[in-house]
Amino acid sequence: MSQQEPFRVRIKVRQYELDSLGHVNHAVYHQYGEVARLELFEKAGGMEKELLASGISPVLLESHIVYRRELRAGDEVDVTCRATFGEGKVFWMQNEIFKLDGTLSAEIKCTLGLMDLTKRKLVPAPRERIVEAGLDLDLLCGTV
């Protein structure tokens, strides 16, 4: 499988998202990443289908961000999102936030799992559970 362009969503920076320094508040970058993750899950088949019907849902376990360039009111950004899977109960989703001129503003890497909503515990093999639920793994991972 080869890499393709990752999923992306465009967001406009709003005035109320700024901090006292006149640039986007640090927590808002995380919100932009969350918007992209939720929209990617929706486009890949939605969480409402078999995933939630089987009593499991993605849960954010950790989020790490590297700020590269500031964003200011009126800027528009493209927020990319791509998932990667390994062994065990967790998987990762990466976001990159780009200004429209191509400048990288921030990079976010999140660790997620699938939580059993009754037991309130992570389920094993999230990749397999996502495939069983009928979500488009190629779209989630940005592969062809």
pLDDT, tens digit (0-9, with 9 covering 90-100), for 112-130 = 999 999 999 999 999 999 9
* Partner residues linked to 121 by β-bridges: 116
Q: pLDDT by residue (tens digit) across 6-42?
A: 899 999 999 999 999 999 999 999 999 999 999 999 9
- Residue 46: CB partners within 8 Å, gap ≥ 6? 135
Predicted pLDDT of residue 4: 78
Measured distance CA(122)–CA(107) in Å, rounded? 26
Predicted pLDDT of residue 1: 47
Measured distance CA(34)–CA(85) in Å, rounded? 18
Can you give the C-alpha Rg of the chain in angstroms? 16
Q: What is the 3-state secondary structure (H, E, C) of 96-118?
A: EEEECCCCEEEEEEEEEEEEECC
Rounded to two decimals, the pTM is 0.91
Q: pLDDT by residue (tens digit) across 47-95?
A: 767 788 889 999 999 999 999 999 999 999 999 999 999 999 999 999 9
- Residue 35: CB partners within 8 Å, gap ≥ 6? 9, 11, 79
Predicted pLDDT of residue 3: 58
Percentage of the chain exceeding pLDDT 90: 86
Please report, in angstroms and rounded to a whole number, the separation of the first and last CA atoms in the chain.
Answer: 6
pLDDT at 2 over 60: no
